Amino acid sequence: MAIFQKSEKISTIDFVPISKIIVDSANLSEKLLQGDTRSVARAITIVENNSKAASDLMKAIFPKTGNALVIGITGAPGAGKSSLVDKLAFYYKNKGERIGIVCVDPSSPFSGGAILGDRIRMSTLGLDKNIFIRSMATRGNLGGLSRATVDAVAILDAAGFDKVIVETVGVGQDEVEIVKTADVSVVVLVPGMGDDIQAIKAGIMEIGDVFVINKADREGVLRTEKELEALLTLAMRPDFWNPPIIKTVATESKGIEDLSKAIESYYEFQKKGENLERRKAIAKWRLLELLQERLLADILNRNGTGAKLDRLAQEIAEKRNNPYSAVEEILK
Amino acid sequence: MAIFQKSEKISTIDFVPISKIIVDSANLSEKLLQGDTRSVARAITIVENNSKAASDLMKAIFPKTGNALVIGITGAPGAGKSSLVDKLAFYYKNKGERIGIVCVDPSSPFSGGAILGDRIRMSTLGLDKNIFIRSMATRGNLGGLSRATVDAVAILDAAGFDKVIVETVGVGQDEVEIVKTADVSVVVLVPGMGDDIQAIKAGIMEIGDVFVINKADREGVLRTEKELEALLTLAMRPDFWNPPIIKTVATESKGIEDLSKAIESYYEFQKKGENLERRKAIAKWRLLELLQERLLADILNRNGTGAKLDRLAQEIAEKRNNPYSAVEEILK
């Protein structure tokens, strides 16, 4: 396990509440573009809260994005994504690169699941100044998680990280969209999952540029591989790429180099193709996400909307009103 | 397997394109409230497309909702949710009830995953006139899946179905929100999944009113049960309910009655408590979902917005613009 060299200084991930942050956008973006980790952490907090400062910041750094290789990693809970991401990060680090990791965690606001996950992983990853890790948790009902995540990736990209890994727990709608914005999308399976039609239904098959069968020391790996191959044969990709299947045992660091090579090979492959259409589709998605968030925020920030929303929700709960009439009242 | 009585007439689930439907809201809602299956299917198509007709329809039927027991079932892909839902539906049917099933499927629009899933399940379920099954698939980037799903549940409720089961594939953000709107939320696990911190991170633990360990004939069931118990002990619920853990082998119809009893017992339990606050929180969530969708639709339906969106996406893809400035331009 030579790759576990916990060395160097503690990487400072700050949890300063937004109200305490005095934002000097110009100064922040300047330090961020120089790769200052503290500024990166602060910038992500700002985009999470989507204030006016977020807008200024993103405008300033956007032209500097597009240099990192962005890797999206998804798969069902229990597939061992975190271990895989950690080992991949160490692998890149040992080649002298800087790696940013953004985890999307659909935990409810009650549990602090994201924080827990962070803490556990900090013990191996966070001590390395060349690896930056941050969890994005949901913040209630107002959405914006996808937008904030994609902004966080842009921040790490602009800050000069060589690789940015976006890890999504779960295979929900938003999570799939986020992974699609990556340069290379990796779908992680485990032996035994392939024996269920659910794996097809999950809609994650077609977003995979690279497939990983993790925990490949378990029984059933051959069957899963064969089933996956059969599925991939059925689905002809528009770009004619043939997604490789990599077997890994992340907990034992096995197969990590193979995975990195597969990622690299798709990255090279897609660079040759017409990339602009894909980037345009991503840009459109980002625009719509941001637009929707901004429109809702504008309405909710109007005087009296909060109280009105409360009253209408009460009326609906008591069946004296319905959501459709209520929304019309708000929009009036 | 006596419960597999494929009998009676074929339940007609129509796939008429919305443009072909001449909507007579008053007539449709009247027939729907009488429990006409064809009208139910049509009404769901209408809410999926969120036209003006959807609004009229939902306003008309909303006062008639609130009678069905709504059961949310979630869990990771491969946990065997579909089989479990199917067996539970047959169990209720054999007790003389009518069951509506709404499946949320985050497949991309390319694969038609939802349709595939539907077809396979139609072969066992769709032939029964007392069981109605419908998949809700994502339709591109404009969201609205959660809203449409909750509307579909309301339609089945108003149409007099005794039980409405909402099945979500995956454990994403939207999926968790949808399951929360159910009267009873069931989280499905399989042996071996509990040995991973991911299970906690997935944020599904705390939404479970009832837990199921499916595929309980597999190895590791005791360990998963113990780990789950330990986790549940850690998390004290605000209502002091102690979520039961039910072991099932859905493919062999084992444990289905136990599951139905557990669902019933939580349903009785929560009826005693203060329910209005919960219903109000759900109403608020529905309001915000609908509001957001409506606001975006209003902007996109404006003359010229489509072309502008295209141009801005192109500029962003070419790095001549950034999403934040672009959104400001749209909102001007």
Q: Are residues B134 and B180 in the same domain?
A: yes
Q: Are residues B130 and B264 in the same domain?
A: yes
Instruction: Kindly state the tokens that stand for B79.
Output: 């946990």
What's the gap in Å between the CA of A34 and the closest CA on chain B? 20
Q: How far apart are CA B221 and CA B173, in angstroms?
A: 28
Q: Are residues A302 and A222 in the same domain?
A: no
Could you give phi then psi for residue B228, rounded to 5 degrees?
Answer: -65, -45
In a domain, B4, yes or no: no
Indicate yes or no: CB of B294 within 8 angstroms of CB of A327.
yes
Instruction: Kindly state the tokens that stand for B198.
Output: 């991911």
Q: What is the pLDDT of residue A19?
A: 45
In a domain, B87, yes or no: yes
Indicate yes or no: CB of A283 within 8 angstroms of CB of B312.
yes
Domain count across chain B: 2
In a domain, B34, yes or no: no
Q: How far apart are CA B184 and CA B194, in angstroms?
A: 22
Q: Are residues A325 and A208 in the same domain?
A: no
- Nearest of B145, B208, B204, B141 to residue B172 by alpha carbon: B204
Residue B309 has its nearest CB partner, among A105, A169, A284, at: A284
**pTM reported for the whole predicted model:** 0.73
Convert the pLDDT of each residue in B198-256 to its tens digit. Answer: 444 445 667 789 999 999 998 888 888 887 887 787 766 778 889 999 999 999 999 99
First to last CA, chain B: 64
What CATH number is associated with residue A249? 3.40.50.300
3-state secondary structure B58-88: HHHHHHHCCCCEEEEEEECCCCCHHHHHHHH
Q: Strand, helix or coil at B332? A: coil
Q: Are residues A162 and A307 in the same domain?
A: no
Convert the pLDDT of each residue in A145-166 to its tens digit. Answer: 788 899 999 999 999 999 999 9
Q: Which of B274, B296, B323 is the last residue of a domain?
A: B274
- What b/e sequence results for A114-134 when a residue is b if at least 16 CB atoms lie within 10 Å of its CB, and e otherwise? bebbbeebeebbbebebbbbb
Q: Are residues A280 and A291 in the same domain?
A: no
Q: How far apart are CA B218 and CA B241, in angstroms?
A: 28
Q: Are residues A213 and A161 in the same domain?
A: yes
Q: Are residues A270 and A291 in the same domain?
A: no
Q: What is the pLDDT of residue A5?
A: 32
Q: Are residues A185 and A100 in the same domain?
A: yes
In a domain, B27, yes or no: no
Q: Which of residues 96-125 of B touch A (CB under 8 A)?
A: 105-108, 110-111, 113-114, 116-117, 120
- Mutation pick from B50, B176, B324, B329 vs chain A, by most beta carbons of A within 10 Å, is B324
CB < 8 Å to B25, chain A: none
Q: How far apart are CA B12 and CA B233, in angstroms?
A: 46
Instruction: Kindly state the tokens that stand for B85.
Output: 């839902």
Q: Are residues B237 and B291 in the same domain?
A: no
Convert the pLDDT of each residue in B17-48 to its tens digit. Answer: 444 445 677 789 999 999 999 999 999 989 98
**Apex CA A184: angle with CA A76 and CA B322, to 5°?**
110
Q: What is the pLDDT of residue B113?
A: 41
Q: What is the pLDDT of residue A219?
A: 84
Q: What is the pLDDT of residue A159?
A: 97
Q: What is the pLDDT of residue A175?
A: 73
CB < 8 Å to B193, chain A: 77-78
Q: Are residues A275 and A309 in the same domain?
A: no
In a domain, A100, yes or no: yes
In a domain, B23, yes or no: no
Q: Which of residues 63-92 of B touch A (CB under 8 A)?
A: 63, 65-66, 76-82
Q: Are residues A203 and A319 in the same domain?
A: no
**Can you give the pLDDT of all 332 residues of chain B as single tens digits?**
233 333 333 333 344 444 444 567 778 999 999 999 999 999 998 998 877 788 899 999 999 998 999 999 987 666 788 889 999 999 999 999 999 999 886 543 333 344 445 545 655 666 678 999 888 865 544 567 788 899 999 999 999 999 999 998 666 667 777 887 899 999 888 886 544 434 444 456 677 899 999 999 988 888 888 878 877 877 667 788 899 999 999 999 999 999 999 999 999 998 877 678 888 888 998 898 889 888 988 888 888 888 999 999 999 988 899 999 999 999 88
Q: Are B304 and B332 in contact (CB under 8 A)?
A: no
Whole domain around residue B68: which residue ranges? 64-274
**Can you give the pLDDT of all 332 residues of chain A as single tens digits?**
233 233 333 333 334 444 444 567 778 999 999 999 999 999 998 998 877 788 899 999 999 998 999 999 987 666 788 889 999 999 999 999 999 999 886 543 333 344 445 545 655 666 678 999 888 865 544 567 788 899 999 999 999 999 999 998 666 667 777 887 899 999 888 886 544 434 444 456 677 899 999 999 988 888 888 878 877 877 667 788 899 999 999 999 999 999 999 999 999 998 877 678 888 888 998 898 889 888 988 888 888 888 999 999 999 988 899 999 999 999 88
In a domain, B214, yes or no: yes
In a domain, B96, yes or no: yes
Helix, strand, coil percentages, rounded to 5, for chain B: 55, 15, 35
